[in-house]
Structure 1
Amino acid sequence: MKLSTQEEYGLRCLIQIGRHQQVSGGSLSISEISQLEGLSIANAGKFVRTLRLGGFVDSERGHSGGYRLSRPAEEIVIGDVLEALGGRLFDDEFCGEHAGQAGSCTHTVDCSIRSLWFNVQKTVDHLLNRITLTDMLGEEPEVSAGIAEKSDKLLQVGSAL
């Protein structure tokens, strides 16, 4: 499975905005975001626009304007962010997109693969919906340990069923 460029960079831009706000309390301009992430101003603007339309950031005009979180970082769920940036790995349209040369999937009645992708998506959703932007704002070792803990708890619950 691969994340799209939009999902990867969009999330990275959101993390930069969250980190900056956490440290300084201020907003971050598109040019600052593009510099921090090594993106063109146009691409940074595209990713941040999607975040704004998704309700995760607000823009402020003026000399000290820029982008800031629209709500506290602990209220921004990473699953919601990734869905706004690119959607889901497996959704209702998945089978139609993989029909081959046929007009519709030849396995609409008896498909063993569909249940695999459905359960992979369900597991990914459970984890991503437990991670907030706050969990992502630290240094990598701290973030990694926190996500691993949430993932391990999820796997323990799943294996108990």
Structure 2
Amino acid sequence: MRIFKFIAIALIVIGLSGCSSKFKTYNGPEVTHVVVNKGARKMYLLHHEKVLESYKVELGFAPVGHKTQRGDGKTPEGTYVIDRRNPNSDFHLSIGISYPNQADRMQARARGKSPGGDIFIHGQPNKKTGTGPDWTAGCISVKNREIEWVYAMVRNGTPITINP
């Protein structure tokens, strides 16, 4: 009888572990603004003035200063919006930031350069390539279990302010 009880419990545990997913459901207060403070390496999800969550972040490999061109390794600074989602990201999950805006494009064009693009908040690489402090090409990175909640909580159209 004891062996049957053990087998039943083992099957339940195995069955429940298969139910876990990287797609979380969030039913709390709306995230009305995302704020990233690059110098402090922190990201805050806000409902108006109230901090709902905060995360330690990793940035572009050249973290000081505003992104001005493709390949400079900088994370942009300024106010943008969350504009897209990638459930099949090479970095677990990712949400897109609307960089470059019109001013970014004009400034880069005046220098004869491309402003770059494809800036995201994302998790860790699916393939063990670069990690460590400030390893991205200009994106904002959090742990995989954290991007799962960020992905669930932050909607497209949410403003994001990235401070120096």
TM range (shorter): under 0.3
Higher RCO (CA-CA < 8 Å; seq separation 6+) = 2
The alignment's TM-score, normalised by the length of structure 1, stands at 0.25
More strand by share: 2
The alignment's TM-score, normalised by the length of structure 2, stands at 0.25
More helix by share: 1
